[in-house]
A and B are shown apart, each in its own frame.
Chain A
Amino acid sequence: MLKILKYSFYDLMRSSWSYVYFAFYLVLGIVLLFLNNNLSKAVITLMNVIIVLVPLIATIFGVMYYYSSKEFTELLLAQPLNRSSIFLGQYFGVAISLSMSLILGLGIPFIAYGLLKSGAIWDFSLLLITGVFLTFIFSALAFNIALSNENKIKGFGYAILMWLFLAIIYDGLFLMSLIIFEAYPLDKVSLLGTILNPIDLSRTLILLKLDISALLGYTGAVFKQFFGTSLGLIISFVMLMIWVILPVLRINFKSRKKDF
């Protein structure tokens, strides 16, 4: 698997997309720091961007890489390699190179601005960690969708829909259900609803760490109680882990049964 990972990684490092992604984050980091003139504020603005954009980019990139490396995959399939190492190697190649672009692209301007000496370092690290989690989750989901769809256009369509659902529609439905059932005690339900969506989970996690949960009102208090404790933090990370592991297992399972 490591050999495949190496080749996928090199392949991606040479493609201009990784640099575009890297440059995008670099510019974003610089602009945010310049506009906010304050590390902590820049971190908050950055969160809103990361929560939405990282999943989108990971999704598109994952689907695109799978389809464009089809030839490479077919070449590898005829070699004495087992299938899970081919597909997992490619998946980790994509996820790792995207994560690297994210970490380096945002890390460089923030460190240059004096992050290491400021108090925002933990918030910033948490932001990057969730960003990396989201990259791994959404590129795995994208690989799943691509593996199940021979047709590129369909694959792209489903992948974008998936992102749209988790990033936007889910929130809408969630909010509507809270309004409809407002007569009932909903703190547990809303907690569960948050945990089941990796984007919501990441957002809540970061908001609470940034200590702006007061904005969330009563539910915020419940959340604070849950996420603020070390148990809450552990559960959130475990959930994010599960969100990575399940799609990866399905990549493994699906790839073993597929015809090429």
Chain B
Amino acid sequence: MVEITDLHKTFGKNNVLNGVNLNINEGGVFAILGPNGSGKTTIIKSILGMVIPDNGLIKVCDVSIKNNSIYRHKIDYLPQIANFPSNLKVNELIKMIKDLRGDTHHDKTLIKTFKLEPFLDKKLGTLSGGTKQKVNIVLTFMFNSPILILDEPTTGLDPISLIHLKELLKAEKSKGKTILITSHIMSFVEEVADEIVFILEGKIYFKGSIAKLKTKTKQKDFEHAIANILTKEDA
């Protein structure tokens, strides 16, 4: 589904990605983990074509993404910080994205699930962080694309919305979609992810199931397994 070969990226003097090779197969939830600044968002943005890699090849559904924009019809993306044009109303934003991507009817049910009806006529600039994130989720999930990329989807969500989000993820997974997630909430990752991709210093350090990670690090719980990798690296 997504194939990354020898990806390099440097921002100024900061060498972020150092030859990433990653192959993500169709179907399942993949969690991209790593400490702050390890290059998670850069990988995601490279897949989306927002960051132009210095070197390396990215293929989505067997097509190179270089100088291509049509492939993004296959990807739904939830950005890390929901920055929306502030003088647009929620309604108008949804309408606009539909206009750009094609029509869909899923938005109505999603709006209901996340109880966004009272906010539809409000300007995005006046919404709270959590509500913005809900709008963000609606925009991401309302299309039925085979690949979902979620960058820190849990930010600012209240517990009820978090449950709804997990349900949504389960439903999408059962449709056979490929879902990429980054998160720092380990309990969330453990609950939803099938496979872990651990990035350290711009390289893939580990890829496999949570169980495999536990045996590799000889730790009983997931959080400690991750911490184990990090402390070993520091030592």
Contact = CB atoms under 8 A, between A and B. Distances in A.
Partners in one complex: yes
Q: Please indicate which of the listed interface residues A7, A78, A81 has the most CB atoms of chain B within 10 Å of its own CB.
A: A78
Contact of B52 (A14, A76, A78, A257): A257
A45 interface: no
A3 B98 CA distance: 12
Contacts of A257: 52
B54 to A, nearest CB: 10
A83 B68 CA distance: 10
Nearest to A78: B77
A78 B75 CA distance: 9
Interface string A211-244: 0000000000000000000000000000000000
A78 B79 contact: yes
Contact of B69 (A3, A69, A81): A81
A35 interface: no
A149 interface: no
Contact of B84 (A75, A79, A259): A75
Interface string A70-100: 1110111111111100000000000000000
Given A257-B52, A259-B52, A260-B51, A80 B73 contact: yes
A258 interface: yes
- Which applies to chain A's interface (DSSP): helix, strand, loop or mixed? helix
Contacts of B79: 74-75, 78
Contacts of B72: 78-81
B48 interface: yes
A257 B100 CA distance: 23
B235 interface: no
A78 B77 CA distance: 7
Contacts of B70: 80
A151 interface: no
A258 B48 CA distance: 13
Interface in A7-63: 7, 11, 14-15
Interface residues on A, range: 20 to 34
A69 B83 CA distance: 10
B85 A71 contact: yes
Contacts of A70: 83
A78 B48 contact: yes
B50 interface: yes
Q: Please indicate which of the listed interface residues B73, B75, B85 has the most CB atoms of chain A within 10 Å of its own CB.
A: B85
A71 B124 CA distance: 12
Contacts of A82: 69
Contacts of A11: 85, 87-88
Interface of A: 3, 7, 11, 14-15, 69-72, 74-83, 256-260
Given A15-B87, A71-B86, A81-B69, 8 more contacts: A77-B48, A77-B49, A80-B69, A80-B72, A80-B73, A80-B100, A259-B51, A259-B52
Interface of B: 11, 45, 48-52, 69-73, 75, 77, 79, 83-88, 96-97, 99-101
29 contacts: A7-B96, A11-B85, A11-B87, A11-B88, A15-B87, A69-B85, A74-B79, A74-B83, A75-B83, A75-B97, A77-B50, A78-B50, A78-B75, A78-B79, A79-B97, A79-B100, A79-B101, A80-B71, A80-B73, A80-B101, A81-B69, A81-B72, A83-B69, A256-B52, A257-B52, A259-B11, A259-B50, A259-B51, A259-B52
